[in-house]
């Protein structure tokens, strides 16, 4: 077992001890997850070679027997998805993933809905960019990355005043993520909903549950939000598929025009294999959720405790920051697999390269912003824009092992020692 502060094994040894020689340790599970067995099994009938099985290649929008068979499979996947999410099947709109679901929620379709969007300042770019493109605004978050209900209330009241005085459009949609992808911080969507219902009763409330879905009860979220985004590949399903849940009473025009699929809310031939895999992964992930949460949190907490013993390494939104914000001094405000660190006296990009050369894959910000080790809008929004420390996101899953945690600790210790002793942090490094 390698420990911080002890001499490091060779890189090859570290890889061997943690992975049985199989290669890399994926400490970036918030970026994506491997396909689970249940999803693979559900997808297989739709991936069969011609002539090797009963026809499963049908287009569910057709009317003959092959198409009807595909439609039955689509209906079953929809029912399974709705059951896990806690909504009715007709409220599920299958999409190409979280980005499409978010864009659809924010715009309301084509043409965009009346009114401007308002979102939190730490939203994923799939929410932030449509918000800004449509003339909306982002609301400040606190030091943990949570939207402040008071700040949201101020924005909604100001917008309402402006609208009544003829100075600006009303708020059409409010979007607040259930959990942040970089920090792992949870938002209280019920509290957000109360503010929106009171101060912007004409607006719809969207929550991006892409990161939260493997860990949080989605039924609690759909009970208070009108629209909710989920993505399959974050929870053991295939890439390129997800859903936007559209609560009864919320209108949604299609974003992609040219087909009447999904009750005229999303045109385009269904990705049936992907949808079947998504539904199966969602069902699998919802089973034993509390056990999986506990397992991931145990490993994350040990990694957090031991890595914080290294000089100049702090948890960005850990127990100390929680206590200073009036919360319990623990990590119950975070997703169970997330650990966000700030590492002093190293260059962020070099740290990630060094970690990878030791067999550990981590990221600096969201994977969509990879390459940008500094400059995270999330880190800036929590007031750390001028920090010289390198941000590192480690994200674990419930199947992360003790050996992987040990090897990660060893790799981080070794990488930091190596970079600091080599003095690679030059004044030219832009953060
Ligand atoms: N929203 C959040 C919070 C995410 O973390 C991601 C992916 O990183 C997305 C949306 C985009 O989802 P997808 O990769 O399915 O387009």
Told to judge if 119 belongs to the known catalytic residues of this protein, a careful annotator would answer no
- Pocket of ligand 1 contains residue 26 by CB under 6 Å: no
| Per-residue pLDDT at 56 | 80
Per-residue pLDDT at 14 exceeds 70:
no
Mean pLDDT of 406-430: 81
- Pocket of ligand 1 contains residue 33 by CB under 6 Å: no
Distance CA 199, CA 160 (A): 8
CA of 218 to the centre of ligand 1 (A): 16
| Per-residue pLDDT at 48 | 81
The residue that leads in pLDDT, 368 or 334, is 334
Mean pLDDT of 55-81: 92
Which of 22-31, 178-187, 245-254 shows the highest mean pLDDT?
178-187
Q: Quick: pLDDT tens for 79-132.
A: 999 999 999 999 999 999 999 999 999 999 999 999 999 999 999 999 999 999
Per-residue pLDDT at 341 exceeds 90:
yes
- Pocket of ligand 1 contains residue 184 by CB under 6 Å: no
CA dihedral 222, 228, 229, 233 (to 10 degrees): 0
| Per-residue pLDDT at 386 | 85
CA of 209 to the centre of ligand 1 (A): 9
**Ranges 5-19, 130-144, 298-312: which has the least confidence:** 5-19
Altogether, the residues listed in the chain come to a count of 431
| Per-residue pLDDT at 368 | 46
Q: Quick: pLDDT tens for 219-255.
A: 999 999 999 999 999 999 999 999 999 999 899 999 9
Distance CA 381, CA 398 (A): 29
CA of 344 to the centre of ligand 1 (A): 29
Distance CA 392, CA 163 (A): 42
Mean pLDDT computed over every residue of the chain = 91
Catalytic residue among 36, 119, 361, 368: 368
- Banded pLDDT at 209 (limits 50, 70, 90): very high
| Per-residue pLDDT at 369 | 44
What's the chain look like in SS3?
Answer: CCCCCCCCCCHHHHHHHHHCCCCCEECECCCCCCCCHHHHHHHHHHHCCCCCCCCCCCCCCCCCHHHHHHHHHHHHHHHHHHHHHCCCHHHEEEECCHHHHHHHHHHCCCCCCCCEEEEECCCCHHHHHHHHHCCCEEECECCCCCECHHHHHHHHHHHHHHHHCCCCCCEEEEECCCECCCCCEECCHHHHHHHHHHHCCCCEEEEECCCCCCCCCHHHHHCCCCEEEEEHHHCCCCCCCEEEEECCCCCCCCCCCCCCHHHHCCCCCCCHHHHHHHHHHHHHHHCCHHHHHHHHHHHHHHHHHHHCCCCCEEECCCHHHHHHCCCCCCCCCECCCEEEEEECCCCHHHHHHHHHHCCEECECCCHHHCCCCCCCHHHHHHHHCCCCCEEEEEECCCCCCHHHHHHHHHHHHHHHHHHHHHCCCCCCCCC
- Banded pLDDT at 10 (limits 50, 70, 90): very low
Q: Quick: pLDDT tens for 272-310.
A: 999 999 999 999 999 989 999 999 999 999 999 999 999
Q: Quick: pLDDT tens for 122-133.
A: 999 999 999 999
- Banded pLDDT at 54 (limits 50, 70, 90): low
């Amino acid at each position: 077992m390698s420990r911080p502060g002890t001499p490091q094994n060779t890189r090859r040894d570290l890889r061997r001890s943690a992975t049985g020689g199989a290669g890399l340790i994926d400490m970036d599970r918030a970026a994506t997850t491997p396909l689970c067995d249940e999803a693979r099994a559900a997808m297989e009938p739709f991936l069969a070679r011609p002539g090797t099985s009963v026809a499963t290649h049908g287009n569910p929008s057709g009317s003959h027997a092959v198409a009807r068979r595909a439609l039955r499979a689509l209906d079953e996947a929809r029912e399974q998805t709705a059951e896990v999410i806690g909504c009715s099947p007709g409220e599920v709109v299958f999409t190409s993933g979280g980005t499409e679901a978010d864009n659809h929620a924010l715009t309301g379709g084509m043409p965009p809905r009346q009114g401007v969007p308002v979102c939190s300042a730490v939203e994923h770019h799939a929410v932030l960019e449509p918000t800004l493109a449509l003339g909306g605004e982002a609301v400040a978050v606190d030091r943990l990355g949570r939207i402040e209900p008071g700040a949201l209330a101020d924005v909604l009241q100001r917008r309402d005043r402006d609208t009544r005085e003829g100075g600006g459009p009303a708020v059409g949609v409010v979007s607040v993520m259930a959990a942040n992808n970089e920090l792992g911080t949870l938002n209280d969507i019920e509290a957000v909903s109360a503010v929106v219902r009171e101060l912007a009763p004409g607006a719809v409330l969207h929550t991006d549950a892409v990161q939260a879905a493997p860990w949080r009860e989605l039924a609690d979220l759909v009970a208070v939000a009108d629209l909710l985004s989920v993505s399959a590949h974050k929870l053991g399903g295939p890439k390129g598929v997800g859903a936007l849940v559209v609560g009864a009473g919320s209108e949604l025009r299609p974003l992609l025009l040219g087909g009447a699929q999904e009750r005229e809310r999303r045109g385009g031939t269904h990705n049936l294999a992907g949808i079947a895999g998504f539904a199966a992964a969602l069902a699998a992930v919802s089973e034993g959720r509390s056990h999986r949460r506990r397992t991931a949190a145990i490993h994350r907490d040990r990694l957090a405790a031991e890595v914080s013993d290294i000089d100049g390494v702090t948890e960005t939104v850990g127990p100390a920051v929680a206590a200073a914000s009036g919360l319990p001094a623990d990590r119950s405000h975070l997703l169970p697999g997330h650990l966000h660190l700030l590492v002093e006296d190293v260059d962020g990009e070099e740290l990630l390269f060094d970690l990878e050369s030791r067999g550990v894959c981590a990221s600096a910000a969201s994977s969509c912003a990879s390459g940008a080790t500094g400059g995270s809008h999330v880190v800036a929004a929590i007031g750390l824009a001028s920090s010289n420390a390198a941000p590192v996101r480690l994200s674990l899953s419930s199947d992360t092992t003790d050996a992987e945690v040990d090897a990660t600790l060893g790799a981080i210790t070794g990488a930091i020692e190596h970079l600091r002793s080599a003095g690679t942090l030059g004044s030219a490094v832009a953060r």
